[in-house]
Amino acid sequence: MWQIIGAGAIGCLWAANLKRTGQDVHLVSRSVLLSDTLHYQDLQQQDHQFTMSSGTTLINSTDPVLVCVKATQVKQAIQKQLKMIGPQQVIILMHNGMGCAEQIQKLLPNNPIICATTANASLLHAPLEIQQTGLGITYLGPFNKQAKLHKDLVRPLNLALANTHWADDIKQKLWLKLLINIAINPLTAIYQIKNGLLQQSAFEPKIAAITTEALQVAQAEDIHFEESELLNIIRQVIDATAENYSSMNRDIYFQRSTENEYIGGYLLKKASRHNIEIPSIKSLYQQIKLLEKQKL
Ligand code: KPL
């Protein structure tokens, strides 16, 4: 059985596709869900319904736990389930941004911790009502040495959502996502625009400066990308998601807290450790912080 913490767009997307492929799922949400039916519309606009086991706590201390809450909520979500989590239970963290695995390792020093990143996209229209909006690649990889024994978990996950792979170099994959997120998310949130508007030439020097700074930090962390290649990837993501609003854009729009601390904030912490100045990223970070405060 799979236990999924987080009944948001990504948690429900995995729940639906695991159920679709005959796998057992228990969904853990922050508050009690009023229905036990998960409504799922796939990319072919086919509607599916699944009867879900759900609750506010995990139901066993052995089956793997897939954590699909935002970076800002990961620590709290795990703390809430701490008594239930067994010493060998696998914890899979799937969210934007970086820095959560270190927090969870402190809470659960002996558990296998797997980090994951997905480019699958879905929209949560209402509780337990989702629509898949994009197909993408998912990587899982070990954060600690205990996790290296659990490579087999990708098989059932890949059955649920194709293009799910094990990556021994998960750190590289997470950094790539971070570098994409830092180039797209804060700008689209500050200017309240769709990703596609970043194609305008006015944003080119901004994106270039952000990328150069972020790459300096990556390099200091022994993560290497070719700058022109990375800019190409960022452009491709902007084109592929042109009609979408980034997650940070939506968070600011709906006055929710953002993943700023785990994207720009993470880069700033690493930069300061290596004595690197990253003024463009610092400015984006501060502007997002200000926008977050304005909601109060
Ligand atoms: O991950 C994203 C997000 O919106 O959080 C994309 C679509 C890649 C934009 O950065």
> Which residue, by CA, sits nearest to atom 2 of ligand 1?
246
| Ligand 1 atom 10: residue of nearest CA | 181
The mean pLDDT value of the chain amounts to 97
| C-alpha dihedral sign at 16, 1, 94, 173 | negative
Identify the band that residue 294 occupies on the pLDDT scale cut at 50, 70 and 90: confident
pLDDT tens-digit series, residues 158-208: 999 999 999 999 999 999 999 999 999 999 999 999 999 999 999 999 999
Dist. CA 246 → ligand 1 center (Å)? 5
* Residues 100, 135 contacting (CB under 8 angstroms): no
252 lines ligand 1 (CB under 6 A): no
To test the ligand 1 pocket, which listed residue (94, 190, 246) has its Cβ within 8 A of the most ligand atoms? 246
User: Is any ligand 1 atom within 6 A of the Cβ of residue 29?
Assistant: no
Report CA(244)–ligand 1 centroid distance (Å).
9
How many DSSP H helices and E strands does the chain contain?
Answer: 10, 12
Confidence class for position 296, pLDDT limits 50, 70, 90: low
pLDDT tens string 139-150:
999 999 999 999
Q: Whose CA is nearest to atom 8 of ligand 1?
A: 181
The rounded distance, in Å, linking the Cα atoms of 284 and 260 is: 9
Between CA 115 and CA 7 the distance in angstroms is 19
CB atoms within 10 A of CB 35: 13
Reported confidence tier of residue 23, pLDDT bands at 50, 70, 90:
very high
Any ligand 1 atom below 6 A from CB of 180: yes
pLDDT range class, residue 281, cuts 50, 70, 90: very high
Average pLDDT over residues 30-49: 96
CA of 156 to the centre of ligand 1 (A): 25
How many Å apart are CA 195 and CA 177, to the nearest integer? 15
- Strand order across the beta sheet in which 91-94 lies: 53-55, 25-28, 2-5, 65-67, 91-94, 113-118, 138-142, 164-166
Q: What is the pLDDT of residue 295?
A: 63
pLDDT tens, position by position, 54-93: 999 999 999 999 999 999 999 999 999 999 999 999 999 9
Number of the ligand 1 atom closest to the C-alpha atom of 121: 7
The residues assigned a catalytic role are: 177
Phi, psi of 122 (to 5 degrees): -150, 160
Ligand 1 centroid distance, CA of 110 (Å): 32
pLDDT tops 90 at residue 218: yes
- C-beta of 188 in contact with ligand 1 (< 6 A): no
Sketch out the chain's domains with CATH numbers. 2-168 (3.40.50.720), 172-290 (1.10.1040.10)
Cβ–ligand 1 distance for 184 under 6 Å, the answer: yes
- Residue 221 in this model has a pLDDT that exceeds 60: yes
Residue 53 host element (H or E): strand 53-55
